[in-house]
Amino acid sequence: MGIIYVLGILIIGALAAFFVDDLNRKWTGPVAMLAGFGAAAAFAFLPGGIVRWRILGFSMHWETDALAGFFAWIVLGLSALALMYSVKYMEGKARQGYFYASFLTSVAGMFGVAVSKDLLSFFIFWEIMTWTSFLLAIYNAYYGVETKGIKYIIFSAIGAYAMLTAIVLALGQYHSLEFSDLMAAGAFRFSSGNWYIPVLLLLGFAVKAAVLPLHVWAPAVYPKTPMSFTAVFSGAMSKMGILGMLLILTGIFRSATGWELTLVRWVLGWLGGLTAAWATLQAIRQNDAKDLLAWSSVAQLGYIVTAVSTGTRLGLMAALYLALLHAAFKGSLFMVAGAVEKQAGTTDFRRISGLIKRMPWTFLTALIAIISLAGIPPLGGFVGKWLLYESLISETHAYFLVILIFFASTSAFLYSYRFLFGLFLGQEEEEAKQITEVSWWMLIPMLALSAVSVVTGMYPGLIFRPAARALESIGLPAGQWDMSILSNVWGNQTDVFTVGSTVGILFVLWALFITFKGKKNTRWLTTKEISTSGEIPAPEDNCTFQRGFFQPFERAVGRLYRSSMDQLWEDIGAALEAFFGFIRKIYTGNAQTYAMYVIIFVVLLILFRNYIF
Amino acid sequence: MVVSPVHLIAAPLAAAFLIPLLNKLYRDAARVVPGVVFLYNLSVSWILVNRVFRSGPIVEVIAGWKPPFGINLVMTPFSAVLVMLVSFMAFVIWLYGFRFKRSLKGGVVMYYEILQMMMAAGSLGIILTGDLFNMFVFVEITGITAIALTAFYRDRDGAEAGFKYMLLGSMASVFLLLGILLIYTQTGSLNMAQIAERMPAVATGVKVTALIFLLISLGTEAEMFPLNGWAPDAYSQAPSPTSAAFAAVLGVAAIYALARVGFTLYDHGTVSGFLIAMGFLTMLFAEMAAITQTNLKRMLAYSSMGQMGLAMIAFGIGSEAALFGALFLIINHAIIKSLLFMTGSYFIYNLNDKRLRALNGIHKRLPYVSFLFALGALAIVGFPPFSGFWSKFYILTAAGAKQMMPLIIGILAVTVIEMTYYLRVIGRIYFAKEESEPASHKPSIQALVAMTSLAVLIIVLGLYPDLIAGFLHRASMFLLDKQTYIQTVLHLS
Amino acid sequence: MSNYQEIISQYRPLLEIIVYGSAVALILIGLYAVLVKKHLVKLVIGLSLIDSGVNLLFVGVGYVTNHTAPIFSPGFETAADKMVDPVPQALVLTAIVIGFAVTALALSLVIRLYRHHKTANVEQLNRLRW
Amino acid sequence: MTGNWLIELTGIVLTALLAFTVGMFYGGLRRKVIARAQNRVGPPVYQNFLDLLKLQGKTTNVTHGLMTHLAPVWVLVAAITALLFIPVLHGGLWFPNFTFKGDLIFLLYLMVMGSLGMALGVGETGNPNGAIGVSRGLSLITGYEIPFVLSLVAIMIQFHTTSLTDLMHYQQATGHWIARENPFAFLAALFSVLGMFHYSPFDIIGAPAELASGPMSEFGGKYLGSLMTGGSIFAFVKLVLITDLFLGGAGHPDAYTGAAGVLLGLVELVIKTFLLYMIPVSIGIVMPRFRTEQAVRFFWRWPLLFGALGIIWAVFWK
């Protein structure tokens, strides 16, 4: 019954937040936060159990097996922290009741998706999470709604309706919507004759996971959403697409006839790789931290999709591991962006810089998260990258794909650095002197999420074990996983604990050396006292290099930057709308024309009656 | 108290003619009486619905002429569900319009109330009648009252919309008459049960021609694609409660008539393909026109046409699940679209501007109404957990059972269009910078009750559709069961 | 009486042609007016004509040779099989009444339209469109 | 390899010292070679040691903040850690370090760690030249890293291992250098080495005339000293890595045991790495500097092609 309690707490919390907001605005956030933590606690301490009930003759089946539990933890954990962060982040903003009610309902939807064991309830929760997130995506302002928010909902709708098509076709074909029944009937196999069912379902999931041609909504919407929700949006909601892919592809992974698996690996794997590369290139040229992070999310999801597509032991583990870790570090990065936005008023690199002295803790979070994102040892992100590469090289032999992925993740260093440099480093603005560190209410969730990266850097087994159980629960072989030794199919190992401790010890030793050597004489300079300009810049001057930061790189990439998927879709949209505008002219407004339509219709029907009736 | 289906029609008709007299006695009689009548209707239909579902269809003979002669009313489970719906919606719409034009005294309001009652009576008549003759009469009654209501505001647009409606309505009635004439010459009867019994013997050519005429005329009323030029104008120019009634009362009756002709007079197989195709075209063109609208009520009107198209598709598919979905859709459409028209007209009332762009940021002034509008918009697009989802899902399921993949994809593609413009409006309401001056027309308490009850229904039906599922299943099975209908009606004699 | 009926039955084919022909002609003329003419009143007249045509058609169909009017009166209770079916005639009567009502309504709308638009040209009545 | 932490620790310290010494000498040699080529006398070979002594001997230090303060630490730690995960000599007791605990992919990522730390430190100084240098450096990484990865992947799939030790073992056992087994991969890796050393024509990061030595410009005293130390060790790491990968590594524990074996191995290592080192140095003498986009594009052309050929070769070699 844990499921019911979790959903109940979230829904009641949503309603409570909505109505409390009218009574006393101060309590809206704490109430929502309580609901978030309450749901997580309920999920932790109550047995999940199995819920079955019937509605309109369709049976609903919710169950918390290991896989559902894994994703439910991503959702509930991240959401609870994001809600805590929200309390101060949203302080003083309007329509908090609306915000928190949508937030909690959305979390309920995500949780429902995670625990659904049949396609109908999966779809229902999916839609709930979609429209609530749309409401949040347009929270900030209307300026983006016509193009950006709407873009999100249109793409989501296309995805969701592809899913719905598959669902009703599957229902017509197999007379059941249970995942287990469909799986047993082979409904998710390309070779089943109903190849369109898995294809349509995958299309639906691909939209949520922002896979290449369908990714354009994500960079448009993530930056416009309040950051406390974007953390969940990018961290947890996009993972639902990954969950769906896992569920659908299990059948193919488990009983693979060669060509199906090859097809998945080639199509999905390359789409994921291209997404990663393309989004990384886009992220590099962004000038706003939020845009950068949005594109980076798309890129990271590309890795995860590629990892899923392998269907191998290492690859699937990489997918689950990265899914959780991406939730942690991207969640904290969006929170960092939110913190900067709240304190400095903007996240545009060209307008602020040098916040490190003002917001040291925020910087620390950002630093840890970015190192983890870039996959540099000894933090957790590296483990995911390692698993992904080893899987592609040693298990699926996707040699050129691994190069593409590698290109993406190498280029990711560029935007990783840009994020840190743009916000926190460089010369301090005179106006930035008043900026202060954010409240601990915001820092604690950020630091908690960073801690995930740090701990998993040394003990990735903490994630491997639940993830392995999750994979086993859907019948995929997961094998044995050590606490901190990674090993590939060839038996080559990397001991991240040794790495972590070596780096840690050396770092501490040398840091002590360099700190205490001649400490007395060390003078701490301001960022204006730089040697090469030959003079100290005036307080109002800011020499920070921010515009066209990666211009040489952009020139090197060259032509690629000139094409834009977004533009393509917008053109299609504009063309469609123009076409609709043309079509509606059949309603001329002239009564006689309408009468003429009637007569023509009659005549046509009578002429062709033998064919029509 | 003994009640019969006749009361449902007779009470509002009688009241409509009595109102002028009563109005002389009591100043606000015109406002109160319809409510009493509709409440009476509601209770009668509740009793009758129970009776129908407990002990089978009711056949009411009028003036002693037994079927197949004379005129009679037939209340099957299928019509019972719709009667209940129409009675309920008529009552809610009356409640909503209770303070309609309260600044105006007497006359105008009286005419409005009379026409509304006549329209409800006519619609109930269409649903209840057992013969084509009465169907014609009731179609005309609803038609004329609807035209009059469309032109109720004596402005140029109202008159123009009324004239268009009048022109197409008259042509529809001509074709209805021609169709009835053809059927009569072949079967020698106007009783639907008897026609249905004799229809197999009729030569195909004449049969189909008659069908075409009937489809054209009823299709005009049901807003089928090339015949629906009147609809956007009429919906947008009529007074707001009337727009709601067009969707919730008139539309229900029209789609009922279409279904009755398709399923009872003819074989479902004959009209199946036609209904699916035209339904889809209706939906497609309506939604394509809707997305580019700049006027709120026109947008809602086109959206109504789209929903009717979907209902036609469902009737065209014609399996039990599809009919279930169709009935559910009709109920949802009546409830949700009424809610949208009701809330939408409060926007317009406040803004004195029907354009969409005027809606920017209106939620600050009308928070509750905006909330209800948003709820309705989400529901009609078919987002779970609102009731609109289930009807759409059931219809799709029916299509899926027949593996009609192109149709499913088509419906859903059109739904994307629909979703786009509804969510744009939500975006405007909540997130745009407001442009116009605040006004202070808060909704009256009656209107609030009406709208809230509809909203509650949307949520309740969305979360617990099994509440009405039993009725709908019985109703849809009965529609499919032509023989029982014939026997029930004719065995009385 | 018999004389009258004989004459009718003698000329029945001709009569049918005349009745049905004029009905069809009326409908077509009406349609022509509705579809082609631009003046609102002419449209209304066209509608009226179509209505009359259909009514005429109905009357023609409802006529059965050698039958009496469908009136039950003392002494004629068993004459039901010799009566013509009352339904078409009732229908026509109703249709005529309805047609009258529609025409009246239409004309009132035309008047109002003319007041607002200062024209009775149907093509200029397209403020509501698209 | 042994459970005795004392021996391991001694090995670590010795390895680090060796790397430091050799790296510093190579730096000095480079200056000498360039000078001779330009017909100058040039500084003595041990000049780098003198520089370092001077830097560490300075007492007045200024720093721009915590990240700047820690940047040299990052660089040094990254270099030493990388060194510890590379088998300096094949087999034997002293120099294999942690090689069995890290593989090539890990090494690849570890090698970026120092650069990132450096970049962060530079960023904090607020010196625009530094930031420009970082931007260039990061762009350059995307250039040379790709052919390098291509060649690594080629080797990994050719020999079904991602472990450096296994690769060395293979070369020792068969006597065939991987440079011979997969020449295209070797070629691609050589090109990458050019980029990795940031010598002309790829010296766009420091770019002495344009950027006033770029990233380094705000560092002095102990910081610059640490940076130099780290840089020297890292140079040695890169050379050893390529040697181990393609040139058979060094040391023959089967042929010679004990101290003699170690000594011989070291000599072999020095010769091989020196010859390897002379490639970027000598090219640097004759080539002028690329612009950043030219440099990046350079790596995306021929080296990339060689890398791809290497993979194809590896696939069909089996």
- Contact (CB<8Å) B167/C43: yes
Q: Is residue C130 part of a domain?
A: no
Task: Please count the residue pairs, one from chain A and one from chain C, whose beta carbons lie less than 8 angstroms apart.
Answer: 32
Q: Which of C57, C91, C102 lies at the smallest CB-CB distance from B166?
A: C102
Answer whether B371 touches A (CB < 8 Å): no
Q: What is the CATH number of the domain that holds C35?
A: 1.10.287.3510
- With a CB cutoff of 8 Å and minimum separation 6, the contacts of A485 are A493, A494, A495, A496, A497
Q: Which of C35, C126, C130 lies at the smallest CB-CB distance from A596?
A: C35
DSSP secondary structure code for residue A313 in this structure: H
Contacts of B154 in chain C (CB under 8 A): 112
Q: Alpha-carbon distance C13 to C18, whole Å?
A: 9
Write out pLDDT tens, residues A147-165. 566 788 888 888 999 999 9
Task: Please count the residue pairs, one from chain B and one from chain C, whose beta carbons lie less than 8 angstroms apart.
Answer: 97
Give how many domains chain C has, as a whole number.
1
Answer whether A179 touches B (CB < 8 Å): no
Task: Please count the residue pairs, one from chain A and one from chain D, whose beta carbons lie less than 8 angstroms apart.
Answer: 245
- Residue among B28, B10, B43, B169 nearest B101 (CA): B28
Answer whether D305 touches A (CB < 8 Å): no
Strands (DSSP E) along B337-409, which ranges? Answer: none
Q: Alpha-carbon distance A367 to A419, whole Å?
A: 10
pLDDT computed for residue B252 by the predictor:
92
Contacts of A590 in chain C (CB under 8 A): 122-123, 125-126, 129
Answer whether A608 touches B (CB < 8 Å): no
Mutate one of A545, A550, A559, A561 to test the D interface: name it (highest D CB count within 10 A): A545
Backbone torsions φ then ψ of B60, nearest 5 degrees: -105, 120
Rounded mean pLDDT of chain B?
87
DSSP string, A528-569: T--STTSSPPPTT------TTTTHHHHHHHGGGGG--HHHHH
- Contact (CB<8Å) A494/D102: yes
Largest Cα separation within chain B, whole Å, is 68
Q: Do chains B and C touch (3 or more CB pairs under 8 A)?
A: yes
Q: Is residue C117 part of a domain?
A: yes
Answer whether C123 touches A (CB < 8 Å): yes
Q: What average pLDDT does range A463-480 have in this prediction?
A: 85
- Contact (CB<8Å) C110/B136: no
Q: What average pLDDT does range A308-315 have in this prediction?
A: 87
Give how many domains chain B has, as a whole number.
1
pLDDT interval class at D2 (50, 70, 90): very low
Kindly report the nearest CA distance between residue D142 and chain A, in angstroms.
6
Q: Is a pLDDT exceeding 70 seen at residue A444?
A: yes
Answer whether A421 touches D (CB < 8 Å): yes
For B348-382, b/e burial (b = at least 16 CB within 10 A) is: bebbeebebebbbbbbebbebbbbbbbbbbbbbbb
- Residues 550-579 on A with a CB inside 8 Å of B are 577, 579
- Contact (CB<8Å) C109/B159: yes
Write out pLDDT tens, residues A504-554. 888 888 888 888 777 766 677 777 777 655 566 777 777 778 788 888 888
Mutate one of A577, A592, A593, A597 to test the C interface: name it (highest C CB count within 10 A): A592
Q: What average pLDDT does range A14-42 have in this prediction?
A: 89
- Residues 19-78 on A with a CB inside 8 Å of B are 54-57
- Contact (CB<8Å) C34/A589: no
**C-beta of residue D262 within 8 angstroms of C-beta of residue D89:** yes
Q: Which of C50, C87, C102 lies at the smallest CB-CB distance from B190?
A: C87
What radius of gyration, in Å, describes the C-alpha atoms of chain A? 26
Q: Give me the domain span that covers residue D310.
A: 5-317
- Residues 190-249 on B with a CB inside 8 Å of A are 205, 208-209, 211-213, 215-216, 220, 226-227, 229-230, 232-233
pLDDT interval class at A145 (50, 70, 90): very low
Poorest-confidence range of C8-12, D58-62, D166-170?
D58-62
- Contact (CB<8Å) A590/C31: no
Q: Give me the domain span that covers residue C44.
A: 2-124
Answer whether D80 touches A (CB < 8 Å): yes
Touching A (3+ Cβ pairs <8 A), the chains are B, C, D
Q: Do chains A and C touch (3 or more CB pairs under 8 A)?
A: yes
First to last CA, chain D: 31
pLDDT interval class at D207 (50, 70, 90): low
- Residue with the bigger pLDDT between B2 and A324: it is A324
Answer whether C34 touches A (CB < 8 Å): yes
Q: Which residue in chain A has the smallest CA separation from D137?
A: A414
pLDDT computed for residue A144 by the predictor:
47
- Contact (CB<8Å) A595/C126: no
Q: Which of B133, B157, B184 lies at the smallest CB-CB distance from C128?
A: B157
**Helix (H, G, I), strand (E, B), or coil: what is residue A487?**
strand
- Contact (CB<8Å) D81/A506: yes
Answer whether A560 touches C (CB < 8 Å): no
Poorest-confidence range of A608-612, D159-163, D208-212?
D208-212
Q: Give me the domain span that covers residue B316.
A: 5-490
Q: What average pLDDT does range D256-278 have in this prediction?
A: 81
Q: Which of B147, B160, B185 lies at the smallest CB-CB distance from C61?
A: B185
| C-alpha of D205 from chain center | 16
Where chain B has pLDDT below 50, the residues are 1, 493
- Contact (CB<8Å) C91/B140: no
Pairing mode of beta strands A523-524, D62-63: parallel
Q: Is residue C17 part of a domain?
A: yes
- Residues 198-227 on D with a CB inside 8 Å of A are 212, 217-218, 221-223, 226
Burial class (CB in 10 A: 0-12, 13-18, 19+), A140: middle
Q: Is residue C129 part of a domain?
A: no
What radius of gyration, in Å, describes the C-alpha atoms of chain B? 21
DSSP secondary structure code for residue B443 in this structure: P
DSSP secondary structure code for residue A453 in this structure: H
Contacts of A583 in chain C (CB under 8 A): none
Contacts of B168 in chain C (CB under 8 A): none
Write out pLDDT tens, residues A39-93. 999 988 888 788 888 888 888 889 888 888 899 999 999 999 999 999 988 888 8
Q: How many CA atoms lie within 13 A of D85 on its CB side?
A: 28
Q: How many CA atoms lie within 13 A of C51 on its CB side?
A: 23
Q: Alpha-carbon distance D24 to D232, whole Å?
A: 5
Contacts of B394 in chain A (CB under 8 A): 56
Q: Which residues pair with B191 in a beta bridge?
A: B131
Q: Is a pLDDT exceeding 70 seen at residue C68?
A: no
Kindly report the nearest CA distance between residue C60 and chain A, in angstroms.
23
Q: Is a pLDDT exceeding 50 seen at residue D1?
A: no
- Residues 42-81 on C with a CB inside 8 Å of B are 43, 47, 50-51, 54, 57-58, 61
Please give the angle made by the CA atoms of A207, A208 and A211, to the nearest 5 degrees.
50
Answer whether D167 touches A (CB < 8 Å): no
Write out pLDDT tens, residues B320-349. 889 999 999 999 999 999 999 999 888 888
Answer whether A549 touches D (CB < 8 Å): yes
Poorest-confidence range of A2-6, A477-481, D120-124?
A477-481
Q: What average pLDDT does range D174-200 have in this prediction?
A: 86
Write out pLDDT tens, residues B143-173. 999 999 998 887 888 888 999 999 999 999 9
- Residue with the bigger pLDDT between D203 and B323: it is B323
pLDDT computed for residue D127 by the predictor:
79
- Contact (CB<8Å) C43/A591: yes
Give how many domains chain D has, as a whole number.
1
